[in-house]
Structure 1
Amino acid sequence: MDDVEAQYRAVSSRDERFDGVFFTAVRTTGIYCRPSCPARTPRRENVEFHRSAASAEAAGFRACRRCRPDSTPGSPEWDVRADVVGRAVRLVRDGVVEREGVPGLASRLGYSERHVTRMLTQELGAGPLALATSQRTRTARVLVETTDLSMADIAFASGFSSVRQFNDAFRRAFARTPTELRAHGPAGTRGGGALHLRLAVRQPFHADALAGFLADHAVPGLERGDGRLFARVLTLPHGNGAAEMVLHDDHVAVRLELADQRDLTAAVARLRHLLDLDADPAAVDTALAEPGPHAVDLADLVATRPGLRVPGTVDAAETAVRTVVGQQVSVSGARTVLGRVVATAGEPVTFDLAHEHGLTHAFPTADALATLEPETLPMPRSRGRTVVGLAHAVAVGDLSLDVGVDRDEASRTLLALPGIGPWTVGYVRMRGLGDPDVLLDTDLVLRRILDARGATTDDVRHWSPWRSYAGMHLWTEHLARQAEQRTRGSRA
């Protein structure tokens, strides 16, 4: 969104849809805000706009204490875009710069450091290091406000190289020291082993459908779903973790235990991807509700479930394995098989939060799965060979499924593996890699639904670039009707 007059109109109307998409900086106060800030709208001549919080901070502005622009949902643009800038932002969000530095980021993208810095600065007003520093500051703020860790421990857990760097970043972003922020922060949540987080959600948000999908696919020992609560074990760069998420209409409450606090940034990014929290539901719903040919418009479904999300993943490689295991079997059958695999090859966990929800193991790593004999897996031998071959390709680096991967390249590599077909590739691309425009045209359920409406997959091109959401609407409606029929049958 680069039209400054349109941006000012959004600020004047306090439009929450643009929170995280751009930031409003006020020259007379030295403060930057989210567009929906409830404060009095500043005069147009006193305002400038920034594409990122890092850009506003680099220009000398500090975060508004009233609207907390550092706690907004992320811009949906960076999840949708498949170009180098979109891939770079997703990697920065996942903490790659903290773990591997800017050289590691550039290497993953296949470009020079200078070129990556130039592209990000041109688009977001800040280079990768500035973006990472801004993110470190927000990670540190969570630890300051929700734990009793020492400031030195927080500094290094957040990715800062020194306590002085940590303090300077806080003063620039919040005009307070970390100690002052802790003194004025929320009380009653610090202490104990778990971090307490509040993840922002862009409205509308159909929490029930999302929670129901995750619960239906929960793997015993790894995940648990109950109503709007979903808990699972996480495999993170520095160790494992356990997360409990409660989906509310306007936010997601999270309790999080980590083996290593340095994984907080990655954990939050992956939970947001799992729940599709950075989506732009207003744009998606508006596009899908528009009339289309052959009676395949989705206006009725969108009206029934506004803000429907596409469930993502915390690990695309895990999703790929789960998708292969689930080929040609029921969801409940796949859950049972995967539960056995997790119990056999997954690493045991002992987090209090995991124990509270009956969670016992992390999902097996690619290295662990690659060493198994296919015939020892509780599935047909040919499928076992596919699982082991897939894991081997990930383990040796022939297949990359991280958040910054080129989706087309990953799809081609995945499709070339024995036992993996177009449906599996499309499903992994949709949920694992976050592609919003995947229509699984070989899916039997979707084909039957389209056939019933007298349409083909070519007739629904007008759903692009949101075909993943369109497919989720059709799936969800189909499952809802099946559940209704079962209920009627039981009553009869």
Structure 2
Amino acid sequence: MHTDTERCVRAVQSKDARFDGWFFTAVLTTRIYCRPSCPVVPPKVENMTFYPSAAACQQAGFRACKRCRPDTSPGSPEWNARADSVARAMRLIRDGVVDREGVSGLAARLGYSARQIERQLRAELGAGPLALARAQRAQTARILIETTALPIADVAFAAGFASVRTFNDTVREVFALAPTDLRARAARGIARQAPGSIALRLPYRAPLNPDNLFGHLAATAVPGVEEWRGGAYRRTLSLPYGHGIVELTPGPDHIGCLLSLTDLRDLTIAISRCRWMLDLDADPVAVDDRLRADPLLAPLVDKAPGRRVPRTVDAAEFAVRAVLGQQVSTAAARTHAARLVTAHGEPVEDPAGGLTHLFPTPDALAGLDPESLALPRSRRATLTTLVAALADGSLALGIDTDWDRARAQLLELPGFGPWTVEVIAMRALGDPDAFLPSDLGVRRSARSLGLPSSPAALTASAAAWRPWRAYAVQYLWATDDHPINHLPA
């Protein structure tokens, strides 16, 4: 979008928050870059230039605005709506892969050379993978500086910097303030933090309807791993350097996020996974406008706009849970999953609630005795085959997975039909166009709206909703009075 100057200027002059994260405005006279909705008086048009990423702004010598804090704007919705190599690379960079594995590790995951990935990212985002990762480290550092009392040197290494000197230089360059000055400006906020926790706000593009988002997560919560407590969704997180517990609270203009981590190096990836799970980088206006064009679907969209797709923090975990939930009630699926967690999950301590375990990894489930499962024999075979494929790496599920390839691999496994494959594509892999025409709730809702209810006819009718059919499923499900569609009391 940054190449459409006229459209960008209109967004800046109207302070349209919907475009925050889509592009960044750099002011040539002040050498400051802002988000489109910055509250200051818009600069003259001839003094504006536009960039596709904060990293590109920083590479061009601009520093972040202290008023609108463009580094904290929602991410571009493009990277979750596309399946090409650039979008997959951006999802991996947000997940901290460059910090942990380097550019070569990023390229290996995508099946390209490091030079090809560098060229593709520069062409589309104006910055290479190292610059994009550096911008992300700077934002992580700012969160730690402003929300914790950690010594500055510890902040540097926790944010992923190789040295304190590099950390200091980067913070000064990006924010035009030394780390100690950033902390002094936020001293009151540090005093309010609970010991051992990090509190922050997760921004999103309005509107956001929390009912189906948090309702779904709470209604399907696996005891010991997830819970709804005190108006917040809580769950355990398995992370590269340790584990954590997150508490997410819906708010009118942000999601409150309270993180407890065993290793602060996991902060960036924990934030990324929480944003992914809650679909916070979506563009609800674009989605709803497309769905509203169908006169039969429009009343549902107008009644409660801004529905998101509830996702997961771990694709392999969700695939296991999808198999456990085949042809049984939500309560039965939770019971089966809770038994696996108790028997094979890693115990954790949760002084603030009732969480007890991490969800077991495929490796932990690889030695599972099928006879110990209170499941039909065919579903036992489905589960053990899935776990074996995940454990030996022949099936890879994650935010960087090619959606079509994953579908083909899953359909080759015994017991995997279109419903299971599509629900994994929708909630674990993040395909915004995944569709469940055979789902009982979808068919019942379609019939009540006057849409065709047979899977083939409904699929043909739903072609007009592309590429947002996964969001249409949320609106169709919402017509049913099921706990997944309501915030718990």
Q: How does 1:185-264 map to 2 (within 5 A)?
A: 185-187=186-188, 188-190=191-193, 192-226=195-229, 228-264=231-267
**C-alpha distance in 1 between matches for 2:187 and 2:106:** 35
Distance 1:260 1:481, change over 3 A: closer
1:64 matched to which residue of 2?
A: 65
Q: Which string of whole-angstrom CA distances, capped at 9 and with x for unpartnered residues, describes residues 360-414 of structure 1?
A: 0000011001111111123223322322221221111111112111111111112
Which residue identity does 1:132 align to in structure 2? A
2:102 matched to which residue of 1?
A: 101
Q: How does 1:196-345 map to 2 (within 5 A)?
A: 196-226=199-229, 228-291=231-294, 297-345=296-344
Query: Which runs of no fewer than 5 residues in structure 1 stay unpaired?
Result: 485-492
**C-alpha distance in 2 between matches for 1:311 and 1:481:** 14
Contact 1:215-1:226 within 8 A present in 2 as well: no
The alignment partner of 1:479 has SS state of coil
Contact 1:340-1:378 within 8 A present in 2 as well: no
**C-alpha distance in 1 between matches for 2:43 and 2:485:** 52
Q: Answer yes or no: is 1:470 the counterpart of 2:472.
A: yes
- The aligned length equals 477
Q: Answer yes or no: is 1:396 the counterpart of 2:392.
A: yes
The alignment partner of 1:24 has SS state of strand
Q: Answer yes or no: is 1:73 the counterpart of 2:74.
A: yes
**CA shift at 1:75, angstroms?**
0.6
Percent sequence identity is: 54
- The ranges of structure 1 where at least 4 consecutive aligned residues each deviate by more than 4 angstroms after the TM superposition are 480-484
Q: Which string of whole-angstrom CA distances, capped at 9 and with x for unpartnered residues, describes residues 216-267 of structure 1?
A: 1111111012474100001111111100111112101111111111111110
**C-alpha distance in 1 between matches for 2:262 and 2:387:** 24
The alignment partner of 2:478 has SS state of helix
Which residue identity does 1:299 align to in structure 2? A
**CA shift at 1:454, angstroms?**
4.2
1:443 matched to which residue of 2?
A: 439
The alignment partner of 2:154 has SS state of helix
**C-alpha distance in 2 between matches for 1:449 and 1:476:** 9
Distance 1:330 1:480, change over 3 A: closer
Q: Answer yes or no: is 1:418 the counterpart of 2:414.
A: yes
Q: How does 1:148-159 map to 2 (within 5 A)?
A: 148-159=149-160
Which residue identity does 2:477 align to in structure 1? W
1:381 matched to which residue of 2?
A: 377
Contact 1:463-1:470 within 8 A present in 2 as well: yes
1:489 matched to which residue of 2?
A: none
Q: Which string of whole-angstrom CA distances, capped at 9 and with x for unpartnered residues, describes residues 135-191 of structure 1?
A: 011011111111122222211111111111111110111011111111112522346
Contact 1:423-1:440 within 8 A present in 2 as well: yes
- TM-score w.r.t. length of structure 1: 0.94
| 400-409 or 471-480, which deviates more | 471-480
2:364 matched to which residue of 1?
A: 368
Contact 1:120-1:128 within 8 A present in 2 as well: yes
**C-alpha distance in 2 between matches for 1:228 and 1:30:** 43
Distance 1:437 1:482, change over 3 A: closer
Contact 1:310-1:468 within 8 A present in 2 as well: yes
**C-alpha distance in 2 between matches for 1:218 and 1:166:** 39
Distance 1:454 1:305, change over 3 A: closer
**C-alpha distance in 2 between matches for 1:199 and 1:483:** 22
Contact 1:211-1:227 within 8 A present in 2 as well: no
Query: Which runs of no fewer than 5 residues in structure 2 stay unpaired?
Result: none
| 86-95 or 300-309, which deviates more | 300-309
Q: Answer yes or no: is 1:3 the counterpart of 2:8.
A: no
The alignment partner of 2:479 has SS state of helix
Contact 1:199-1:251 within 8 A present in 2 as well: yes
Contact 1:55-1:126 within 8 A present in 2 as well: yes
**CA shift at 1:318, angstroms?**
0.6
**C-alpha distance in 1 between matches for 2:404 and 2:294:** 30
Q: Which string of whole-angstrom CA distances, capped at 9 and with x for unpartnered residues, describes residues 323-356 of structure 1?
A: 0000010001111111111111100001xxx332
Q: Which string of whole-angstrom CA distances, capped at 9 and with x for unpartnered residues, describes residues 283-320 of structure 1?
A: 1111111135xxxx311111111111110110111110
**C-alpha distance in 1 between matches for 2:268 and 2:290:** 32
Which residue identity does 1:397 align to in structure 2? G
**C-alpha distance in 1 between matches for 2:193 and 2:445:** 50
**C-alpha distance in 2 between matches for 1:151 and 1:385:** 52
Which residue identity does 1:92 align to in structure 2? I
**C-alpha distance in 2 between matches for 1:151 and 1:126:** 28
Distance 1:27 1:248, change over 3 A: same
**CA shift at 1:449, angstroms?**
2.9
